[in-house]
Amino acid sequence: ARFGEGPQMVVGKLLRLCGHGEHDDASYVAPELKDSNLGRDCLEVGIQQVVENGVATPDEVDLWKREAAEEVQEAVANAQTDPGPDPYQDDWQAFSSKGINS
């Protein structure tokens, strides 16, 4: 979306595949919903498509996962030592709506 190119909004329909926290087993989500297209793990679907379309091999995907995990650990370590954000300087907003349908 930078420089006015590309999508300005991405609409995703998915189901949180776990509860709100480690204490929450999400047993309140109906099995039918978990088994529907909304319940598919979008990361696994994407990985499958990347491999099936010859964009990457399973070994390359595994390497990406390891590299991503390392980057996340580094980011967490940095975030834990950085000062917190100034709430008076942030101006972003999140948007969510049940009314967006495809």
Q: Is residue 24 part of a domain?
A: yes
Q: Is residue 87 part of a domain?
A: no
Residue by residue, pLDDT tens for the chain (102 residues) are 567 777 677 777 778 777 888 788 888 888 898 888 888 888 899 999 999 999 999 999 999 999 999 999 999 999 999 888 888 887 778 877 776 565
**Residue 59: HSE in the Cβ half-sphere, 13 Å Cα cutoff:** 0
Global pTM reads 0.57
Q: Is residue 93 part of a domain?
A: no
Q: Is residue 77 part of a domain?
A: yes
**Residue 48: HSE in the Cβ half-sphere, 13 Å Cα cutoff:** 6
How far is the CA of 43 from the CAs of 28, 40, 81, in angstroms?
A: 23, 9, 30
Quote the pLDDT of residue 66: 98
Structural domains of the chain, count: 1
Distance CA 102, CA 89 (A): 35
Look up the domain containing 37 and give its range: 7-81
